[in-house]
Amino acid sequence: MFFLCVDKPAGYTSHDIVSLFRVLTGIKRIGHTGTLDPFATGVLLLAFQDATKLIGHIPHVPKRYQCMLDLGVQTETADCTGDVVRQVSVSDTVRDTLETVLAQFQGDIVQKPPIYSAIKVNGKRLYEYARKGESVDIPERTVSIYDIQTISEVDGHQPSAQQVALDVRCSKGTYIRSLGCDIAQTLGTVGHLSVLRRLSSDGVDIAKAITLPQLATLVTIEEFTDWRIALSKEGRSVYTRRSREAVLKQLSLFAISPTEVFASVPTVHPTDFESLRLAQGACLNSLKQRLSAPLNKVLWNEQILALLRKDGSILRVNPSIADKRIAAQS
């Protein structure tokens, strides 16, 4: 059970990356903690095996993005992958009002997710409505922008006269594409994102990410660069994968423990008896009385044994840890 941070390149869906690691590791139970748009790059946190149980419980911590906002051009997807639907001239005075406008977007704001997104409305994802040309009422949501600043470049791309490079710290659920469009509108024009890079998510920073070129050196015998081929059964014959055991050993160098992902969650240290009973599936009143927050983690040998909520619910996280705990007391 572990997490792995991947530096997703542009052109891949989040599901592509999950599928790739299923192929390379032979592990079927893999999920991700938050979708990253196909054109976007950066942090995609994967959960392996029993870590998938934890995805819905990961504490909400600020996310960080950097993006390039292209002014004067509106696309149907609010990014560089969509067809252009409108072009307008950009005033020379836009730069003069930029800082004032950005200040208006700090704090809690209301935004509407883009039609090309994975949010479900009436049981269907928004992009399904968009692809069929169907109209749908998209509910607004309140999100938090903790900080937004202009920067000199994004992922090596320097802004032109009609581009703005931004660094954004925001809450979970924020759509940076929508934020870019709203900023452009407030500036008196239209816009879309040409570059989007996620630098941190779920408390994990891009510095801990493995890139696909690094992955190639770890899991294949020969040099390999096009992972799109590896996603097809026919294409897998063009490279030689190392053994499953060797692949997992190499990936362990980049593994992120659940304890690290849940570092901000208060810890409860059980007695030997309490940890044994908890491993057996019990939720003890003696533990409940020591809970200091709505969500708490119980550690055994520095590994998460369970997550406990003040409402009395319990998530028994890692059966193998529990089995070892019971065996040690037998």
Does 37 participate in catalysis according to the annotation?
A: yes
Find the angle CA(151)-CA(157)-CA(159) to the nearest 5 degrees: 55
Beta strands in the chain (DSSP E): 2-8, 30-32, 41-48, 63-71, 73-75, 84-87, 107-111, 120-121, 124-125, 141-150, 163-170, 191-201, 204-205, 255-256, 267-268, 295-300, 303-309, 314-316
Closest CA to 41 of 159, 193, 145: 193
b/e map 123-140, b = 16+ CB within 10 Å? eeebeebbeeeeeeebee
Residue 27 to residue 23: CA distance in whole angstroms: 8
CA-only gyration radius of the chain, Å: 23
- Catalytic option among 7, 16, 37, 167: 37
Catalytic residue positions? 37
